[in-house]
Chain A
Amino acid sequence: MPASPSIRVREVSRRFGHRWVVRKVSLDIVPGEAVMLIGGNGAGKTTLLRVLAGLLKPSKGTIELTGTVGMVAHHTMMYDALTARENLAFFARLHGVPRDEWLDHLLELLGLSHVAHERIGTFSRGMLQRLAIARSLLHRPDVLLLDEPLSGLDDAAAQVVLQVIQELKSRGASLVIATHQLVELVSVAERVGIMVQGALVALEPIEGRDAAAVVARYRELVTHAA
């Protein structure tokens, strides 16, 4: 795609103490593109996403972002004692985004209008994930980072998330989705990045391959790296 990249990652490395958790990762992502990021536990996917989000500074390397970033992670990053709407209103205020209709719209989009005034401490995993997506969309980010967005979700909730992803892509947002669930997401992503021990060992177009083919490719690279 000829569009200029919304994320430019150049040789980014990150360490914790002496341990390098992300090693010299480089990639470019253009608007409207979704990149799936796969790798085992401890491969560095979560850390890479946190660095892209700006929560961690790269120990080495640079990141150029055009536009704003949103993130959905394993933790909801919200307050159990507040209601769904109160949580959204709080973060909206921090973003300087006008509230009311936009919040109601997001809640409706994610199927949470009926629980808007209930404390999220009582929510199920699926509801929390959907609310987290709503939070990440408050400021209409150009880049959305998703860390295991479908984990723990039932089919209905997963469908909602996939729809949101498609909608965002069509509006020109870039997405990076770290996941173990290839089956559902392989149809949604343009490229797949494979991480092994912190390094991005491959970044390839999916080109109509199915989940099984991608997994086979992954296994091939893991045994090669070992």
Chain B
Amino acid sequence: MTRRERALTTAHRGTIITGIALLGLVGVYVRALMFTPMERSQGLAQKIFYVHAPVAWAALLAFGITGLLSLLYLMLRDRKLDLIAAASAEVGVAFAVVMLTTGPLWGKPVWGTWWTWDARLTSTLFTFLLFVGYLVLRGALTDFEVRGRFSAVLGVMALVLVPFIHVTVYWFRTLHPDPVVMKPEAPSLPSVMLVTLLTSMAVCTLLYVGFIMQRYALAVLRDVREEEAAGGLS
């Protein structure tokens, strides 16, 4: 199979996986709205949690993979790794946007304000900005070899930075607690809610995989087209 054919196959499979995941997401929501009990204090708004937490997890997964693949790229210099890392960053940013918008949507009815500098939200915000920067850097570099190298360097730095950001934000928050003491999730969820949550997390992970495959395939197709336009080594 040529590179283009392999990419098209990946894209096709990715679309199927995305489709299944989206159906799964609908299923999760049916379960969340119909079959999972209402949370006592927060009411209907709490249902957002079943998408808010899993996409946050998916975003973190995406960024972690970008970081690890960046490290591998620097060691192996295989272009595939660079393309997957970039795809993962883009998908991660998309998930982070969902997390950062569902957060306020949830927060407003529950806490009365759109944004609080809650540790999780703040940490995700900084991580989101970090990987937006990664994508901006990629956009600014035209030579793909330089782009791969430089974004891999940034990716590795970002991977190491994320835990530092978490710790910094958490320590800051514990010293400056919110006046509204409302935890977004109870420390121990009743099992019904837990099952919904875990199912949602599995579905979001699957969605991540589907998106990555499609995005990666697109990157490969673009690359193949550019390569053909430039001519070979002859």
Contacts and interface: CB of A to CB of B under 8 A. Distances in A.
A134 to B, nearest CB: 32
Contacts of A13: 233
Interface stretch (A15-23, A76-84, A212-220): A15-23
A76 B203 CA distance: 59
Contact of B230 (A18, A23, A60): A18
Contacts of A18: 144, 226-227, 229-230
A17 B143 contact: yes
A24 interface: yes
Contacts of B142: 17
Contact of A20 (B143, B145, B226, B233): B233
Contacts of A60: 233
Contacts, number: 25
A17 B226 CA distance: 9
A92 to B, nearest CB: 31
Interface residues of B, number: 12
Nearest to B233: A20
Contacts of A15: 233
Interface residues of A, number: 10
B187 interface: no
Interface in B128-149: 142-145
A121 to B, nearest CB: 29
Interface string B30-50: 000000000000000000000
B231 interface: yes
Contacts of B144: 17-18
B145 A23 contact: no
Interface in B183-234: 226-227, 229-234
A17, A18, A24, A60: most-surrounded residue (chain B CB, <10 A): A18
Contacts of A24: 233
A17 B230 contact: yes
Contact of A17 (B145, B232, B233, B234): B145
Interface in A1-20: 13, 15-20
Nearest to A19: B230
A15 B231 CA distance: 11
Contact of A23 (B226, B227, B234): B234
Contacts of B230: 17-20
A125 to B, nearest CB: 30
A193 B144 CA distance: 31
Nearest to B228: A18
25 contacts: A13-B233, A15-B233, A16-B143, A16-B145, A17-B142, A17-B143, A17-B144, A17-B145, A17-B226, A17-B230, A18-B144, A18-B226, A18-B227, A18-B229, A18-B230, A19-B230, A19-B231, A20-B230, A20-B231, A20-B232, A20-B233, A23-B233, A23-B234, A24-B233, A60-B233
Interface of B: 142-145, 226-227, 229-234
User: What are the 5 A-B residue pairs with the smallest beta carbon separation, nearest first?
Assistant: A18-B230, A18-B227, A19-B230, A17-B143, A20-B233
